[in-house]
Structure 1
């Protein structure tokens, strides 16, 4: 009788039945701590944020207005979340406040990355009112990039490759900034941010996806009437190819949208994107995608570990929403590969980043087959999500 009651309780709870975990999360976090201790010692200028490695082998750092500036502080918060060691909290606070001035930056759509990754995690873990104040100011700055006629948040003010040709450019990456606005709506009570997020997400579904639920990277609109004038790519292999990190942003974005709104249309979209990724014939056996699913010289193309980390994190959340072992298994396979020496740096290697073999923009010849700070960020996020699922932390 007790057994039956326990079984019923488990079924009602909808808990995934996990086999023995294949990832030693504690071991992976300990390695991350060791790498980032070295990184903190090597990076003392808080106006410059670790980004990647230059072609000459030197460390590439960027200023606070660069779209990736928030990932370093965000990664430190994840290490603190797991370790509960105040030295990581102090480091995270320092590097988080280093991007504070970007709260007034209305020239970029990337404030979700720049502010919500460090300040959002910091606020979640400490309830620091200063962080809330910064984010609410930043959310208002971000909202100024939304135009009601177009119904989307503008990504780039001008696209250098096609300078002057397109006047309202939107990229799939922009889905990642909506969590920031949805948070701001809940905290402030200002429905404007919620409405912007819903409208942007709905119009992205309408215009950004092909029949197979792969996503275009760039959709160009006419600012005067909101009509689509072109569908192109900036970082993919071709306009019609499936750039791997773009598919990752899409999967993560719509999984998040369902979590935050409860709207079934976003869950359905996330599952269709997941199906495209999972069933793609060009997904390698180790599940770390090539930088583009349709890259021209497969299998002799670079992998993108950053895309794998984002997909893994999203699939873990989707697996918990749907109680679906298929999503969990793919995420776990990705993490097993990423935690191997094939993708993980040795201690002190590659300027102390955790992962190697990511691709920023191969068409532009930048950050190809190199560490990237956001690969580290989403890798740790995925590890923490994995740990909560398998170890019930």
Structure 2
């Protein structure tokens, strides 16, 4: 495992990397952003009214709510969305609902059977710590969770294992880039360099083994757990192994933008810009910048039953891109900043109206419509998804911060 020098670690652990915020004109108005936050906060109260005390919203399909237990990878998004909406509207009811939902989620800090603890714990308890500053309540929970996530790291593959099930030997999915923020933040909070070391090592290995020459990403890279050699590069949720599954590209964009913020390492910024270029200039990207579920969906046989509904958009990928591009715009030249900012604004505008924004009281209380979980598995197809809502609201909060002259992240 690559060891970070003491000087580098001291920089990462004790300071926030400071970047000069590019001054670019903001096209969306505060009134517009506030209206979307108010709509979302009213909508999520409908969802809250239907959500059992010990379960977590997953989706709404064919007029029925679908919930999960706390060990489902999406469990942290609902309380995280409530916390973001509290931040944006200052409605105490949203904070109360969020903190109540953290109670049945806390036990997942001991869960060593998943790589998704960043989603589960950092999106929820991490936001709670950031907004309430209650270190006595949340620090130990987050530290234990980070230890659980770190336990899945292998010094042979130099990665965090994603799944434990067959037929994979040691699978790592591009989604795992998102869980590194949890480790980076906890490295600073605890002054424990192991967390940052693991995150950086995983990011570097993924950089080497997950990307094609055009900077599109494979979904799954499978390693030999004994030697660390790459055995295969596959997909699990995309159209085919060599296709560019849309949300996978979004995970990569967001993950490497975040890693640049946390480390200041320019190779991560360069990677994020390359991925952004792939996404934004792809000929299959629609004019509203809400991508189809796979950029290569036209290369599959439409007569195949699995892909009969191949022309589906994925609002969750769009929301991810909006949030990531807002942050990326703060780290680049003015010309590039304006390009990323305008793209993010267009995505936010697209998601804030039909057909993506659900009318108040509809959609089971979920904010966005038309996301795709896994088309090949016929799972969560053209439905609302809890993480689509989370990243859409995060994008609104980030834009609100820019309007207020604040850094895009806090």
* TM-score calculated relative to the size of structure 1: 0.93
Q: CA deviation at 1:23?
A: 7.6
Residues 109-128 of structure 1 mapped to structure 2, 5 A cutoff:
109-128=115-134
After TM superposition, give the deviation of residue 17 of structure 1 in Å: 2.5
Q: What CA distance in whole angstroms lies between the structure 1 residues aligned with 2:267 and 2:382?
A: 36
CA RMSD of superposed structures (Å): 1.6
Q: Which runs of 4+ in 1 moved over 2 A?
A: 17-23, 296-300, 390-393
Deviation at 1:184, TM superposition (A): 1.0
The 3 A distance-change label for structure 1 pair 23 and 227 is farther
Structure 2 residue ranges without an equivalent (≥5): 1-19, 303-308
Structure 1 pair 329–22 and aligned structure 2 pair: CA distance change class (3 A): farther
Matched, 1:134 2:144: no
Q: Is the 8 A contact 2:109 2:144 kept in 1?
A: yes
TM-fit CA distance, 1:83: 1.5
Contact map agreement 1:23 1:336 (CA 8 A) in 2:
no
CA-to-aligned-CA distance 1:189-231 (integer Å, 9 cap, x gap): 1111111001000000000000000000000000000000000
1:276 equivalent to 2:286? Answer: no
Is 1:286 aligned to 2:288, yes or no? yes
- Does the aligned pair in 2 maintain the 1:343–1:355 contact within 8 Å? yes
What are the residue-to-residue correspondences of 1:1-393 with 2, within 5 Å?
A: 14-19=22-27, 21=29, 24-43=32-51, 45-54=52-61, 56-129=62-135, 130-158=137-165, 163=166, 165-296=167-298, 301-322=311-332, 323=334, 324-392=337-405
Q: Distance in 1 between matches of 2:215 and 2:321?
A: 15
With over 3 angstroms needed to count, the CA separation of the structure-2 counterparts of 1:300 and 1:195, relative to structure 1, is: closer
- In structure 2, the CA distance between the partners of 1:149 and 1:73, relative to structure 1 (3 Å rule), is same
Deviations 1:171-194 (A, max 9, x none): 000000000001111111111111
The question of whether the paired residues in 2 share the 8 Å contact of 1:277 and 1:283 is answered with yes
Distance 2:310 2:190 in 1: 50
- C-alpha deviation, 1:390, in angstroms: 3.1
Q: Secondary structure at the match of 1:214?
A: coil
CA distance in structure 2 between the partners assigned to 1:230 and 1:14 by the alignment: 41
| Alignment deviations for residues 109-162 of structure 1 (CA, whole Å, 9 cap, x no partner) | 00000000010000001111211110000000000000001100000001xxxx
Gapped regions of structure 1 (runs ≥ 5): 1-11
TM-score, with structure 2 as normaliser: 0.89
Aligned residues: 375
Aligned residue for 2:84, secondary structure, equals: helix
Check whether the contact 1:22–1:336 (CA below 8 A) recurs between aligned residues. Answer: no
Distance 1:363 1:374 in 2: 19
Q: Distance in 2 between matches of 1:191 and 1:214?
A: 31
* Partners of 1:97 and 1:113 in 2: CA distance: 16
Pair 1:60–1:389, CA change in 2 (3 A): same
Query: Aligned partners of 2:59 and 2:47: how far apart in 1?
Result: 12
Distance 1:132 1:14 in 2: 33
CA distance in 2, matches of 1:210, 1:19: 34
